[in-house]
Structure 1
Amino acid sequence: MTATLEHTNFTVADPHATAAWMHKVFGWHTRWEGEAISGGYTVHVGNAETYLALYRPPATQTPQKLDQETYDFIGGLNHVAVVVEDFEATEALVKEAGFTPGEHHDYEPGRRFYFHDDNNIEFEVVHYD
């Protein structure tokens, strides 16, 4: 039996704003939205098979150090990788959404670049050749 990842849940400042740029950049749609655990609000954005749950708690807190490297912490979220069909077009959409593409790497079997969104979540955009 093989398992399939259904969704991942993130805490964000504004789930509607995060969903909006994901609609434009990744071509995803909102699958569901509504009240969530502990008085929060969630927007599920993705495709027919998988999605990201974008959760806003009733009272948000900002991490004390936004520049801390998540790779150094057990349980840290390091990045979310998204496979795209058109690498250059997606990079242009990332820039149009107001984000700055960072590291680019070309290696077997494809290409990738990274960017941080306005919640300081790192995304990896991947294209397989």
Structure 2
Amino acid sequence: MQAQLEHANFTVSDPQATAAWLCEIFGWHIRWQGPAMQTGHTVHVGTDSGYLALFSPGTPDAGAQSSYQTVGGLNHVAVTVPDLTEAEARVKRAGFSPKNHADYEPGKRFYFHDHDGIEFEVVSYAA
């Protein structure tokens, strides 16, 4: 038996706004949204086989430390795309700044931070 990742759940300041740009950049769709614990709201956005659960308790606390220095911290979310150039253009149109471009086996990639400081890695394994 081999397990498959179904979803990751993390806190954002505005689940609807984050879901909107994720749909715009990556071609995803909203799978579900509704009330969540602590009088919060959650939006599930992704594909039919996997998604990100975007949670907000209403008034989230701002993170104080780098996730790379915090045990249990979210370091980045990686997404594969068929066309890295097109994905980078979409990231820029959404108002984000791509950085840390790298070309090493087995693929090419870049990173960007969203409005909540969450780092995304965009990678393509296309030849």
Q: Which moved more, 1:100-109 or 1:53-62?
A: 53-62
Q: For 1:55 and 1:62, how far apart are their aligned partners in 2?
A: 14
Answer yes or no: is 1:46 the counterpart of 2:43.
Answer: no
The size of the alignment, in residue pairs, is 126
Describe how 1:42-121 pairs up with structure 2 within 5 A. Answer: 42-64=42-64, 68-121=65-118
Q: For 1:78 and 1:60, how far apart are their aligned partners in 2?
A: 19
Give 3-state SS (helix, strand or coil) of 1:38's partner: coil
TM-score w.r.t. length of structure 2: 0.95
Structure 1 portions without partners, runs of 5+: none
TM-score w.r.t. length of structure 1: 0.94
2:30 touches 2:46 (CA, 8 Å); kept in 1? yes
Give 3-state SS (helix, strand or coil) of 1:21's partner: helix
Q: For 1:70 and 1:97, how far apart are their aligned partners in 2?
A: 24
Percent identity for Structure 1 against Structure 2: 59
Q: Alpha-carbon deviation of 1:44?
A: 0.3
Q: For 1:63 and 1:110, how far apart are their aligned partners in 2?
A: 31
Structure 2 portions without partners, runs of 5+: none
Q: Which moved more, 1:113-122 or 1:72-81?
A: 72-81
Q: Which 4+ runs in 1 deviate beyond 2 A? A: none
Give 3-state SS (helix, strand or coil) of 1:18's partner: helix
Q: Alpha-carbon deviation of 1:26?
A: 0.3
Give 3-state SS (helix, strand or coil) of 1:8's partner: strand
Q: Which residue of 2 aligns with 1:12?
A: 12
Q: Which moved more, 1:68-77 or 1:51-60?
A: 68-77
